[in-house]
Amino acid sequence: MKINLLFFAIFISVGLILLILSLIFKNKDKKMVKQCNQTTKGKVIKYTLWNNNGVYFPIVEYIVNNVKYNQRLKYGWIINKSSSFNKVKSEVENDVKNDNLVIRSNTHISINALKEHFPVGTELDVFYNPQNPNKSYVMRFVKSPEVKVLFFTGLLFIILAFIGLAFLPA
């Protein structure tokens, strides 16, 4: 009985912690959207030095009250359909304005897929917080993917806690 209750306590605790973290991140996202209520135009000035799943993101420079700020274009999920038989030129399979990005690239060498869609000098809308212009997002707000991951993982731990309570030997 002790091991059964210990299992339950550990799993329910981890599950609740993950659910609370998901709520914190969700509230952070809502706060960001609410606070970033001013819009300006920004220009793509360069691309990130690091890549995420083979993609280098455009960095947008925008000016608020004669001060320059930078923000990169973000995506929630990036799916890279990579194969040795794909073309060297990466291709975006969905609309680049979507929250998620699906690209097809070559496993060994590929050209940045976003460079074609957002060449240096491209103007994009930047939404920023007037009290803190450094807090901003480019083109559209992307919800943190961590919210869903933490929520469903926490839910899974809670379900496992009750399954363990019901089915583990006493």
pTM: 0.78
- At 73 the pLDDT is 92
In the chain, which stretches have pLDDT less than 50?
Answer: none
So what's the pLDDT on residue 76? 85
Residue 5, CB half-sphere, CA atoms under 13 Å: how many?
A: 2
Q: How many residues does the chain have?
A: 170
C-beta separation of 139 from 125 below 8 A: yes
Scanning 36-80, the segments in alpha helix (DSSP H) are none
CB atoms closer than 10 angstroms to residue 166: 9
Tell me how crowded residue 110 is: count the other CB atoms within 10 A of its CB: 21
